[in-house]
A and B are shown apart, each in its own frame.
Chain A
Amino acid sequence: MRIVVNGVPREVVATTLAGVLEEIGIVGRFATAVNGAFVPAAGRGMALSEGDAVEALAPMQGG
């Protein structure tokens, strides 16, 4: 399945959000959104579809 993670197109085997994050190796403290909508950690079992846009955001410096 072809999806976009943090702006980068990727071919993934996993079919759920949690599976994709693991496959790509995103670990630690982060939060997720799919197609512009927040997906809480407890909801990462959701199935992804072809073309979905996933964002995984981590803590960063800010003003």
Chain B
Amino acid sequence: MPVFYGEELGSALMLGTAGYPSPAVLERAFRASGAGVATVSLRREAGGGQDFWALVQGLGVRLLPNTAGCHGAREAVTTAQMAREVFGTDWIKLEVIGHADTLQPDVFGLVEAARILCAEGFRVFPYCTEDLIVCERLLEAGCEVLMPWGAPIGSGIGLNNPFGLRALRAAFPGVPMVVDAGIGLPSHAAAAMEMGYDAVLVNSAVARAGDPAAMAGAMADAVQAGRAAYLADPMERTDMAVASTPVLGRAFL
């Protein structure tokens, strides 16, 4: 099971809390997922914040607050500081958004914010791209986990750049990594785990499914299968057929 900042989780599935049809559906999805981490956020109190706090307390999972919607390092740092106090954790999913349509991270602001937050004792989970050099800079800044995107947030596209994700996994073999964003189907989650990623973070694929609890269960199964396959050391792929039935002893007819 994945270990982040010295803490072992009970599941390689991390689940978001946004966009469910109702709090009851959210709760059922979490139970079905067996997820060990729930992502949460901070917003101006407009009623509901205290009820939501009670709900997530009852889930019995580790909370990972995010800085979603922040468009600059300074804003993200302040949001992280506020989240640490509200949620009582130094874990932070650091998002510094750079592009309105793709929600692509502003990797320059991300590295800047990560450096400040790591120095302040935060355990930073940076939402990043699969760029090797950006990830190297994040590690230098003090991050001990990387969270490359699969595809744009909420798109359900899956793993948009499997080559890049595979290269990133190979470049930093000892670093825990989570594929975050873009997962739409259990097969996408399984593919990430088969590559050797330590966990996946899913939200919209579950929340926007017709039956969120059933999809949460399917995601949990996929993550388990993908991890087991990775540990089983998959066969190498070839472009030509390799006969599986022995040729020796074949009848002459």
The residues of A with any CB-CB pair to B shorter than 8 Å are 6-7, 26, 28-33, 36-38, 40-41, 55-63
A26: contacting residue among B26, B45, B65, CB under 8 A: B45
Q: Which residue of B lies closest to A62 (CB)?
A: B41
**Which among A7, A28, A31 is the interface contact of B82 at CB below 8 angstroms?**
A31
B68 interface residue per 8 A CB criterion: yes
Is A29 touching B78 in the complex (CB atoms < 8 A)?
A: no
Please name the residue on chain A nearest to B84 by beta carbon.
A31
When C-beta atoms are compared, the residue in chain B nearest to A30 turns out to be B45
Are A58 and B45 in contact, with the CB atoms below 8 A? Answer: yes
Nearest Cβ on chain B to A50's Cβ, whole angstroms: 22
Contacts of B66 in A (CB 8 A): 62-63
Which applies to chain B's interface (DSSP): helix, strand, loop or mixed?
mixed
Residues in chain B within 8 A of chain A (CB atoms): 16-20, 26, 39-45, 48-50, 52-53, 56, 65-66, 68, 74-75, 78-79, 81-83, 85-87, 153-154, 201, 203-204
Bound complex: CA A7 to CA B180 (Å):
31
Are B17 and A61 closer than 8 Å at their CB atoms? yes
Number of CB contacts from chain A to chain B under 8 A: 102
Partner of B16, one of A32, A36, A55, A62: A62
22 examples of A-B residue contacts, CB within 8 angstroms: A30-B86, A31-B86, A36-B74, A36-B75, A38-B82, A57-B79, A58-B43, A58-B50, A59-B40, A59-B87, A60-B43, A60-B48, A61-B16, A61-B19, A61-B41, A62-B39, A62-B68, A63-B16, A63-B66, A63-B68, A63-B153, A63-B203
When chains A and B are docked, how far (Å) is the Cα of A62 from the Cα of B154? 12
Closest to B82 in A: A31
When distances are taken between beta carbons in the complex, the residues of chain B under 8 Å from A29 are: 49-50, 53, 86
A52 to chain B, nearest CB (A): 15
Most B CB atoms within 10 A — which of A29, A37, A55, A56?
A29
Q: Is the CB of B53 within 8 A of A61?
A: no
Interface centre among A28, A36, A37, A61 (most CB of B within 10 A): A61
Rounded to whole angstroms, the CA-CA distance of A62 and B80 in the bound complex is 14
- Using known A-B contacts A38-B78, A57-B82, A62-B40, determine if residue A6 contacts B16 with beta carbons closer than 8 Å: no
Q: How far is the CB of A21 from chain B (nearest CB, A)?
A: 10
Chain A residues near B56 (CB-CB < 8 A): 59
Which residues of the other chain, A, contact B18 by a CB distance below 8 angstroms?
Answer: 61-63
The 4 nearest A-B residue pairs measured at CB = A58-B49, A62-B41, A63-B16, A31-B82
* A42 to B171 alpha-carbon distance, docked (Å): 44
Contact partners of A58 in chain B: CB under 8 A: 42-45, 49-50, 52-53, 86
14 more contacts with CB within 8 A, not counting A57-B45, A60-B41, are A31-B81, A38-B78, A57-B86, A58-B42, A58-B45, A58-B49, A59-B40, A59-B50, A59-B53, A61-B18, A62-B68, A63-B17, A63-B68, A63-B203
